[in-house]
Amino acid sequence: MKKTLFILVMLAALALFADPAFWPRTNVVEAFVNTANPSNTLVNNLDAALADFKPGEVLQVRLYEGIGDANVQARFAQNHGGEIPSVLFGGSYLVSGIQEANLYQNEAQSRIWTSSPFKLEVNQFQPATGATSIQATLLDAQANQSGLSLMMYLIEDEVGNMDHVVRLLHSESISFAGAGQPLTVNHGFNVDPAWNQSNLWVMACVQNSGGAILQATSSLVMPSHSVRGVMDFAHMGLIYPPNSSAETNTFWVFNMGQAQSIETILVVDNELSGWMFNYCDDEGHCFPGTIPQSFYLGTGEAKSLHMNLWVGAEGETTFSLKVSSPNMDPYLLPFHVQAGTSVSDNVLSPSVELGNNSPNPFRHTTEISLNLLKNERVALQVFDSKGRLVDETPVYELRAGENLVSWNAPANLSSGVYFYRIKGSSAAPKRMLLLN
């Protein structure tokens, strides 16, 4: 009887930790800098912006004009025509010139919780010979696409007054036969004997045909115990009607290191009368927010959860799910909720496809692409990084098909990340960067 019960418990545990078809994304930040003028202000601001991120969330490298092979220098031509110095996020989002640290931090912060259908691992890196082997795995068959490439960067730290210097860059096309079938790519870098081998490391990235980096990894030593969160929704911009109940999308806690028991508890920054929170797993088990809960996660296993909220009559609050263990520093998954204009997922089905804005970043004015299924009148809503509605612009008599709509930022808006959406649509908001 005891053996049967043990088997049932183990089967339940296996169901509880079923692998999702994605992996936490490691984000890449590339700084393009002039050798004659290393732009200390830019790299100092970038260092300050990325200092508080956990290992594995962000990889920062720097490409200096005049340093590195022909492929490194060719990368300058792929930064979308931006000036030097500039910073490229995820291979596709360029911030030109020298900006304040908070702008770089906001952009990086908006990316660290995203998922990727790819998993990358460094099988081998030998600094003396340059021998490198990367394993890439497609986790979601529906995400398979043509035009993918694997880029490998050889980087040296502490080169005089420069750091994270890209020495060599190799890129080749890759394709996946299907999900779950690892693909191994080998390459031999020609290591210059003058380089400090103890300061060499490699970074590998999967990039699509549009230039976006979909996943990355490195040979840097990661902590033996760590977790990551995946929240592919606007968790810092949740807005629900006053006096209503709400349920967030599912989010995930991944164990990125050795097997361990973790403890979770809700930490509320500002208590509001009439507001209540708890969280549940996707098997229907709910947990009081203020009582610690323990879960066991093996290496690579993930726990799926969602928040249950009762939103009060008015106000806004920020709270976090704190994930901790004796082996690691606490890891916080933050949420910001406001009572007001609803941007929840439980709204009308979208009749408008929300496109990107251009230019992005922009000053004063940008154009947003809208693709309509039918002739329609819509309203464009813009929210700040805390989820507060800062502008609502009626857009009249749009035709079916593609439309370009201009948005003029109100004069009182400061530089920073903003989100835009179509009022009444369930399509996820999109991000843009205003520079004043």
The whole-angstrom separation of Cα 340 and Cα 423 is 13
The DSSP annotation for 41-108 comes to HHHHHHHHHHTTSPTTTEEEEEEETTSS-HHHHHHGGGSTT--SSEEEETTTEEEES---HHHHHHHH
Which range is least confidently modeled, 56-60, 73-77, 151-155? 73-77
**Is there a cis peptide before residue 85, judged by omega within 30 degrees of 0?**
yes
The whole-angstrom separation of Cα 295 and Cα 281 is 11
- Using a 10 angstrom Cβ sphere, with 0-12 exposed, 13-18 middle and 19 or more buried, the burial of residue 71 is middle
What are the angstrom distances between the C-alpha of 188 and each of 73, 129, 133, 196, 362?
Answer: 19, 7, 9, 17, 41
The whole-angstrom separation of Cα 433 and Cα 416 is 6
Strand ranges for 282-412 from DSSP E: 286-288, 293-297, 302-311, 316-325, 328-339, 352-358, 365-372, 376-384, 389-398, 401-408
Q: Is the Cβ–Cβ distance between 156 and 165 less than 8 Å? A: yes
The whole-angstrom separation of Cα 195 and Cα 189 is 13
Which range is least confidently modeled, 16-25, 85-94, 236-245, 373-382? 16-25
Grade residue 182 by pLDDT with cuts at 50, 70 and 90: very high
What are the angstrom distances between the C-alpha of 228 and each of 54, 234, 277, 301, 324?
Answer: 9, 17, 22, 11, 11
Specify which of 163-177, 284-298, 300-314, 341-355 reaches the highest per-range mean pLDDT.
163-177
pLDDT in tens, 133-170: 999 999 998 888 899 999 999 999 999 889 999 999 99
pLDDT at res. 118: 96
Specify which of 55-59, 280-284, 313-317, 395-399 reaches the highest per-range mean pLDDT.
55-59
CA proximity to 214, closest of 228, 204, 223, 229: 204
pLDDT in tens, 294-334: 999 999 999 999 998 888 888 889 999 999 999 999 999 99
Please name each of the domains of the chain with its CATH number: 23-218 (2.60.40.10), 237-339 (2.60.40.2310), 352-434 (2.60.40.1930)
Report the mean per-residue pLDDT for the chain: 86
Grade residue 401 by pLDDT with cuts at 50, 70 and 90: confident
Mean pLDDT value across residues 52-71: 94
Q: Is the Cβ–Cβ distance between 332 and 322 less than 8 Å? A: yes
Residue 162: how many CA atoms within 13 Å on its side-chain side? Answer: 22
Judge whether residue 387 has pLDDT over 80.
Answer: no
CA proximity to 180, closest of 144, 151, 147: 144
